[in-house]
Amino acid sequence: MERLDKILANTGRWSRKEVRELVRAGRVTVNGTVARSPEEKWDPSAQFVVDGELVSGERLVYLMLHKPAGLVSATEDPRQPTVLELLPDHLKRVGLFPAGRLDKDTEGLLLLTNDGEMAHRLLAPRRHVDKVYFVRVDGQLNQADVDTFAAGMTLGDGLVCMPAGLELLEEPDTALVTLREGKYHQIKRMLASRGKPVRYLKRLTMGPLSLDPKLELGQWRPLTGEELDALRAVAGL
């Protein structure tokens, strides 16, 4: 049994202060009864409803983050700031970690969760979960680059890259890259091998999950029920 304010704060959707305000306004019910106090203790498996919406009280949390450049995709680092520093204190205590990584200078979609099983499945190479990136390079991209990506590449340092998508955009130095794997600095290494080093990189999608255009750099939000269901389907859960 746990306090109501702690259970709802652990979902990642509200701070404990916000939960207390919701309860005092009569906007929270538990098992069909209006909650009287944020200090009430309940089993996290109870039925929690906030403003008419069913909310899971389980401890698993799933957040979409619009990662800015300058932060490392890690839970802690002795020398550099991490993406977890963007979160409020109550979310720093529920075991969140990045599902996959983005380079320090790369922006875009990052999934933060404490669901190890889902993260493992989404990142497993055999699942081939597509990820789409916007890229800007030094130089001009062309059809030869598209064909080379589509055929797969073995780089000079021995890195073997699966076939990948390269969709040319209107500006000749920009494209969309679709990967089914996530090797270290992969896009940068692939394009550098073509003599077109990356100037800017941003992840737009991860499987069925697309970066919310309403999220500014550094902002985050919980996944919607539809987004979570789609991720679970891809992960085979």
Give residues with Cβ within 8 angstroms of 169, minimum separation 6.
Answer: 175, 176
Instruction: Spell 2-18 as b/e; 16+ CB within 10 A means b.
Output: ebbbbbbbbbbbbbbee
Question: Which of 5, 51, 77, 103 does the annotation list as catalytic?
Answer: 103
Of 133, 117, 121, residue with least CA distance to 206: 133
* Cα separation, 198 vs 174, whole angstroms: 10
- One-letter amino acid of 52: G
* Cα separation, 230 vs 16, whole angstroms: 29
Angle at the Cα of 83 from the Cα atoms of 106 and 184, rounded to 5 degrees: 45
* Cα separation, 44 vs 72, whole angstroms: 33
Residue 165: burial class (beta carbons within 10 Å; 0-12, 13-18, 19+)? middle
103 is catalytic: yes
CB 63 within 8 A of CB 113: yes
Side-chain-side CA neighbours of residue 113 (13 Å): 21
**Catalytically annotated residues:** 103
